[in-house]
A and B are shown apart, each in its own frame.
Chain A
Amino acid sequence: MGTAVIVAPESVRLMRAHVGRRRRLLDAGMRRLALFAAILCVIPLAAVLIFVTLNGASALNLDLLTKAPRALGRNGGAASAILGTLQMVPLASLLAIPVGVAGGVYVGEFADRRSAQIIRFAADVMVGVPSILIGIFVFTFLVLPFKQFNAFAGSVALAIIMIPVILRTTEEILALVPGTLREASLALGIPMWRTVLSVVIRTGLGGILTGVMLAFARAMGETAPLLFTALGSRLVNVGDFGKPMDSLPVFIYVNARQPYELQNQQAWGAAFLLLLIVLVINVAVRARTWGRAIGN
């Protein structure tokens, strides 16, 4: 508010100066520059999509989807990585959803102002913790004591990344549920816990799901937290969470750095697959949210 007062005399001076070409040109120039910047921001998206599609689609074949990796420079596939991601990320969700949703419920429904602030702040800061450090953290707890890289540790690391995202969206969505719904339910003699579960969460379910799906997509693409936990593996591992397990991001990382053309091709194929899944989830979820925003 103070700024408007400071601004006024300055602009009065502007008015007295020539309302001329220079100002109009500057205005037009800066507006064009802003448009140019916005276009510049979108170019990398287009470039990544185009190159991953060009290089990846041709590498994506039945072998890549169904065969296990083989020794360097030889044919094989990414089945170990696909199956690994499809096991570790759901387990991570299973761990993260209850914690994240319950945490969000507490912050939104029960917590006093101070607790809510502290938890919210911690969750926000947690999102900013470099994911490789979460990998080290889980390593010291779940890998070092057992002297064995294992998929369970990988899932835990991914879960830690998902929790704050789910907590924050849940809390924000619950704040949008009208208080009259809670009062109506409580007035009917329904206990608090049932009210929260069957009325409040039920009403906000769509929004909570949005948060969960975005966290899911983010976890699918995370590499760094898996390097020291699930490690990666050339063996297809189904169901043995006590052993190392491959994943799509780690597969891409490892194969991108090989000096073999064939390995690099497989990295592109896996990247295409990963990007496809991640973007489809994102577009689907966001399109829904956008639709609702525009509908209102």
Chain B
Amino acid sequence: MTATTPPTLQGASRSAELPDRVFRTGTRVLAWLVVGLLVLIGLQLAINGAQAFETFGLGFITGTTWDPVRSIYGALPYVFGTIASSLIALLIAAPIGILTAIYLAELAPRRAAVPLTFMIELLAAIPSVVFGLWGIFVLSPFLRSTVEQWFVDTLGWIPIFAGPTFGVGLFAAGVILAIMIVPTIVSISREVIASIPNSHREAMYALGATRWEVIRRAVLPAAKAGIIGAIILGFGRALGETMAVTMVIGNAQAIPTSIFGQSQTIASKIATTFNEASVGLQTSSLIALGLVLLVITLGLNAVARVLVVRAAGRSGSTG
């Protein structure tokens, strides 16, 4: 442990002690600045959003009307859009992400695993706004003429799959979010799976299990907590994702009845209206929306971090 090394050894001159103390204190202040910033973000959103909660109480979250003209602000359509689009993303990204992680950690030959991992990391590096641009002009029209059309034709009698389709909407937002959170789910699940000791696998192989049986009955049960953590982290990221969603969700005010309907998330609502909002109750309501988002994402993040750290820490791979 480096922290236990005494700051000065016997031979060091006394004059070195003051700069040491200054250096140490300086780095400490800057390190705690990060904690301070986090607290400050929460406080600042709470203070500036307080007016909305004072005016509407809990009705702010359950209200369905957002009307600046009548000064009524209810967040439910945006809370709904946020959770619905992220759930669609999760339904798509979780199975694909977990299977990919299994492939990369357990099955792939090295010459396939290395470039694939590299490419999935690059996917994570693409800026959100570029996904949004691609979403508007390529993905949405494609989804509208293929997937959405198919659902409406074959399952259209189920209300949530009913038309009309617009291309842009809840479903397109879910798909683009799925693409954006898959790297998170893959990379964390892969690490967790790779950190499981080989003795688990060997015991199963020795019993004559096939590779899939080893994965299914030895690897996945041991990696479960970490994989759930990875999925929650992905979910948290989807909830807060702004630009790509703003560009493809359609920015409609009401709660859609179909998954192909147009909607709005908390983040996209803030992105599209914050600058035009009049200072006062309207701005406060938007900031209160942000506070709701912050509380949800921070809560999820905290839970996920604990799960991942525990899962990875058990094998001693991280401190």
Contacts and interface: CB of A to CB of B under 8 A. Distances in A.
Interface of A: 3-4, 6-8, 10-12, 14-15, 19, 23-24, 26-27, 30-31, 33-38, 40-42, 44-45, 47-48, 51-52, 55, 98-99, 102-113, 115, 118-119, 121-126, 128-134, 136-137, 139-141, 144, 160, 163-164, 167, 175, 179, 182-183, 186-187, 189-193, 196, 217-218, 220-224, 227-228, 231, 249, 252-253, 256-257, 264, 267-268, 271, 274-275, 278-279, 282-283, 286, 290, 294
A107 B31 contact: yes
Contacts of B221: 3, 6-7
Nearest to B15: A191
Given A8-B207, A256-B247, A41 B97 contact: yes
Given A129-B38, A179-B5, A223-B127, 19 more contacts: A7-B218, A15-B207, A23-B213, A31-B211, A31-B212, A38-B100, A47-B138, A103-B31, A107-B31, A110-B28, A128-B298, A130-B293, A132-B240, A136-B286, A193-B23, A221-B128, A227-B271, A286-B118, A290-B118
A10 B2 CA distance: 46
Contacts of A121: 305
B170 interface: no
B204 A11 contact: yes
A103 B108 contact: no
Given A8-B203, A125-B298, A125-B301, A103 B33 contact: yes
Contact of B116 (A38, A218, A224): A38
A179 B133 contact: no
A223 B41 contact: no
Given A38-B100, A41-B96, A283-B122, A187 B9 contact: yes
A274 B130 contact: yes
Given A11-B204, A102-B26, A38 B242 contact: no
Contacts of A40: 96, 100
B132 A42 contact: no
Nearest to B244: A223
Interface in B16-63: 16-17, 19-20, 22-24, 26-28, 30-35, 37-38, 40-41, 44-45, 48
B119 interface: yes
A213 B161 CA distance: 44
10 contacts: A31-B212, A38-B103, A41-B116, A42-B123, A111-B31, A119-B32, A129-B240, A136-B270, A256-B247, A283-B122
Contacts of B48: 136, 140
Q: Which 3 A-B pairs have the closest CB atoms?
A: A221-B127, A130-B240, A191-B16
Residue among A40, A105, A136 with max Cβ neighbours from chain B (10 Å)? A136
A133 B127 contact: no
Contacts of A8: 203, 207
Interface string B128-139: 111111101110
A124 B242 contact: no
Nearest to A252: B129
B123 A41 contact: yes
B135 to A, nearest CB: 9
Given A129-B297, A257-B247, A48 B126 contact: yes
B107 A31 contact: yes
B212 A14 contact: no
Main secondary structure of the interface of B (DSSP, over half): helix
Contacts of B200: 3-4, 7
A256 B207 contact: no
A114 to B, nearest CB: 11
B209 A11 contact: yes
B133 A268 contact: yes
Interface stretch (B65-73, B145-153, B231-239, B253-261): B231-239
Given A37-B95, A41-B96, A186-B9, A133 B138 contact: no
Given A24-B210, A31-B211, A41-B100, A122 B129 contact: no
Contacts of A136: 45, 48, 270, 274, 286-287, 290
Contacts of B126: 45, 48, 221, 275, 278-279
Contact of B19 (A108, A113, A189, A193): A193
Contact of A274 (B23, B35, B118, B127): B127
A204 to B, nearest CB: 12
Contacts of B37: 126, 160, 163
A111 B30 CA distance: 12
Given A7-B203, A102-B27, A278-B125, A189 B11 contact: yes
A164 B286 CA distance: 26
A257 B249 CA distance: 13
Contact of A231 (B99, B243, B275): B275
Contact of B208 (A19, A112, A140, A268): A19
Contacts of B91: none
Contacts of A271: 129-130, 133
A190 B135 CA distance: 57
B235 to A, nearest CB: 11
Contacts of B129: 221, 223, 249, 252-253, 256, 271, 274
A4 B28 contact: no
A88 to B, nearest CB: 15
B275 A51 contact: no
